[in-house]
Amino acid sequence: MASELAFVLINPYTIAKSRTGGVIGRFMSRTGLDLVAARMFSPGKELIETYASMVDKDKSLKPAVRRLLADYVLCSYAPDPVTGRSRRVLMILLEGEDAIQKVRDMAGPVTMGGGETIRDTFGDYVVDEKKQVNYFEPAVLIGSSREETAATLKLWSRHATSDGGFLQTTVDNSPGEKGWQRTLVLIKPDSFRFPSAKPGNIIDLLSRSGLRIIAAKVHRMSVAQAEEFYRPVRQVLREKMKRTVSERAAKALEAELGIAIPDTVRQLLEEQLGPLFGDEQFNQIVKFMTGCYPPTCPPQDKTKDGPSKCLALVYGGVGAVEKIRNLLGATDPNKAQPGSVRREFGLDVMVNAAHASDSVENAEREIGIIKVDEDLITPWVRKYYGN
């Protein structure tokens, strides 16, 4: 069976209640599909009205259901009626065999009821004794059929630039507030070795910060990007490894040759081998993040997307850098505090679940390298449906 492309729109209320991680984790772990793209939207009037009209005309849904969903889009996706500020919607794309049906099964019916689906867990459908709907929150919106999936993806991709990317002033985000910052989080490639709930669980832990996700991107880092991204680490490693390498090399030589290594030779070992070992540690970091080993990567391939992927998220809010760093924990998972991301999900100082910017300045530098506002929704839509 050929692969399909399916979408999930994580609704504004779901995002505002910090249920984003749970939704992503459930879809990834229970469908076995591959997360290939993600983008934040603040839908404008044209997109909202056009999408609602499409939903209302969806013949694969019962008239009452499609009317309910169309009204929901018009109301819940629209800007706040008092402030005029837009809402946050996260679109994720999932690829794999029978993807559309798998997403439908995992999302569950609009009327809910089974207890095992996304909507049963994160949504609400409340009716009175006359079967009139009193409250409705479907948690996510999905494609009801292949045709509707194609039409929806084409519509949202047309608005990916105008209505998506970095969300500035939304209903729950105020960049002008004193102390407001934005910071980058990279959920590292070890979380994507196979479909699992791990990326969603990490997002769940980070939601304790009270910050808002204002941009998202599934990113495949090139070797050139990784070398620039981790450039400040390289010199640190070269210096840090000198003493360690000198001591290890001296012990090895003493054991092998049966002679005492004088301090002058130890100094030479430190100066000559330390930087080499530091460079190798740096190359291993780049290999881990990209899937490519820099010394064997042809120069013409250094700017190409690597085979490994990560999920890039930009969080915005007061004191964002420090809040995220505290929740991530120490670089070494064994030294991180209980309940932190790295203590819960990290393995060692490199395979430590996630990266976070360590300063406002580095956040801006790293965000620029990763290009988190880049639209990758449209290329995927074109791949499956053309222009």
For the stretch 227-265, pLDDT in tens is 999 999 998 888 888 888 888 888 888 888 888 888 888
Q: How far apart are CA 297 and CA 5, in angstroms?
A: 31
Q: Which two tokens stand for residue 110?
A: 């609009």
Which is catalytic among the residues 88, 219, 242, 355?
355
Q: How far apart are CA 313 and CA 301, in angstroms?
A: 26
**Domains of the chain and any CATH numbers:** 3-164+375-385 (3.30.70.141), 226-301 (no CATH)
Q: What average pLDDT does range 174-197 have in this prediction? A: 93
Element (H, E) at 379: helix 377-385
pTM across the whole model: 0.93
Residue 355: active-site member: yes
Q: Is the pLDDT of residue 1 over 70?
A: no
Q: Is the pLDDT of residue 324 over 80?
A: yes
Element (H, E) at 14: helix 12-16
Write down the pLDDT at residue 320: 97
Q: How far apart are CA 81 and CA 66, in angstroms?
A: 24
Q: Average pLDDT, whole number, for the chain?
A: 94
Q: What average pLDDT does range 69-79 have in this prediction? A: 97
How would you class 98 by CB atoms within 10 Å of its CB: exposed for 0-12, middle for 13-18, buried for 19 or more?
middle
Give 271's pLDDT tier (boundaries 50, 70, 90). confident
Q: Which two tokens stand for residue 97?
A: 């065999």
Write down the pLDDT at residue 253: 86
How would you class 56 by CB atoms within 10 Å of its CB: exposed for 0-12, middle for 13-18, buried for 19 or more?
middle
